């Protein structure tokens, strides 16, 4: 697998707290990387920094395409926004904050297609309908407003609106938090199926080691803004070396 994204020595402070402490990692094409840790470990800050939503105080995030590596901190705002809406996607924990609730389900999907140059209304509508089927909402809901959808349906709609342009990298911030357990399982299965079928690379932030085990090829463990352990997911979770990782793993195992 070839390298897609690389973080080098990222540092970020909020007041007197090290949100990121000399963080370095890589993400390969078609790979799923999980970032795990307790609340306050820095995992969501790291995700936002990697996605170009929150700049680091120091260090670099390099995105690689056919033209070579690009430091996202050196990109102008227009170029970065174009990258974020074409080659990248972001799935938020709170789908309500990511979707336009006063625009139809089909409109939310079609909007991203139009951002990427689509102009034929019939093709846009058919693509949106197909994606509603893909995420198990059903094309008959294409003209319904998301404000009338359940939490699980909103998350599925956000997934459709994110993946419709076939990005090469998606960022996911606790995508199943707050949903019922049965709904969580269906959403995770949907994510796993679509990501693998579309050959998308993904970075997923989660406090749930079960999510990491289900989805991720590799796992990064964060504590106090620093990476304390990383490696293949099975190795990290089945044979953790760092005391903090051992504590995390033991806390979710049955007594």
**142 and 240 co-located in one domain:** no
pLDDT averaged over every residue in the chain: 94
- R_g of the chain, CA atoms, integer Å: 18
**157 and 190 co-located in one domain:** no
Q: Quick check: 243 pLDDT over 60?
A: yes
In which element (H, E) is residue 89 found? strand 88-91
**112 and 144 co-located in one domain:** yes
Q: What is the pLDDT of residues 109-119, one digit of tens each?
A: 999 999 888 89
What are the distances in angstroms from CA 238 to CA 26, 139, 208, 252?
22, 42, 15, 12
**38 and 63 co-located in one domain:** yes
120: exposed, middle or buried (Cβ count in 10 Å: 0-12, 13-18, 19+): exposed
Q: What is the mean pLDDT of residues 167-190?
A: 93
Q: What is the pLDDT of residues 54-71, one digit of tens each?
A: 999 999 999 999 888 999
Which alpha helices (DSSP H) does the chain contain, by range? 43-50, 77-86, 95-98, 105-115, 121-134, 151-163, 181-198, 209-215, 233-238, 243-252
**110 and 232 co-located in one domain:** no
**187 and 206 co-located in one domain:** yes
**66 and 187 co-located in one domain:** yes
Q: What is the mean pLDDT of residues 171-183?
A: 91
**79 and 176 co-located in one domain:** yes
Q: Quick check: 36 pLDDT over 90?
A: yes
Residue after which a domain boundary falls, among 118, 137, 166: 166
**162 and 173 co-located in one domain:** no
If we measure between CA atoms, which residue out of 88, 95, 93 comes closest to residue 72?
88
Q: Quick check: 32 pLDDT over 80?
A: yes
**Please, which pLDDT band fits residue 255 given cuts at 50, 70 and 90?**
very low
Residue 33 to residue 90: CA distance in whole angstroms: 14
**160 and 175 co-located in one domain:** no
> Does residue 79 belong to any structural domain of this protein?
yes
Q: Quick check: 254 pLDDT over 70?
A: no
Residue 51 to residue 66: CA distance in whole angstroms: 19
> Does residue 128 belong to any structural domain of this protein?
yes
**127 and 233 co-located in one domain:** no
């Amino acid at each position: 697998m070839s390298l897609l994204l690389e973080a080098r020595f990222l540092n970020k402070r909020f007041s007197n707290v090290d949100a990121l402490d000399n963080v370095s990692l890589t993400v390969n094409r078609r790979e799923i990387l999980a970032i795990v840790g307790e609340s306050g470990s820095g995992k969501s800050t790291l995700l936002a920094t990697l996605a170009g939503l929150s700049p680091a105080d120091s260090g670099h995030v390099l995105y690689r395409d056919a033209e070579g590596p690009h430091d996202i901190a050196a990109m102008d705002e227009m170029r970065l926004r174009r990258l974020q809406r074409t080659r990248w996607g972001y799935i938020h924990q709170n789908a309500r904050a990511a979707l336009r609730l006063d625009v139809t389900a089909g409109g939310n999907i079609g909007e991203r297609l139009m951002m990427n140059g689509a102009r034929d209304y019939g093709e846009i509508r058919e693509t949106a309908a197909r994606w509603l089927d893909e995420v198990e909402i059903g094309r008959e809901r294409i003209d319904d407003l998301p404000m009338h959808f359940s939490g699980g349906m909103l998350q599925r709609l956000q997934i459709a609106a994110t993946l419709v342009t076939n990005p090469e990298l998606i960022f996911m911030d606790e995508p199943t938090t707050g949903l019922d357990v049965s709904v969580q399982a269906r959403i995770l299965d949907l994510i796993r199926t679509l990501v693998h079928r579309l050959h998308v690379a993904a970075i997923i932030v989660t406090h749930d080691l079960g999510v990491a085990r289900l989805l991720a090829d590799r796992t990064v463990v964060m504590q106090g803004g620093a990476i304390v352990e990383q490696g293949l997911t099975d190795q990290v979770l089945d044979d953790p070396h760092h005391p903090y990782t051992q504590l995390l793993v033991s806390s979710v195992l049955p007594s």
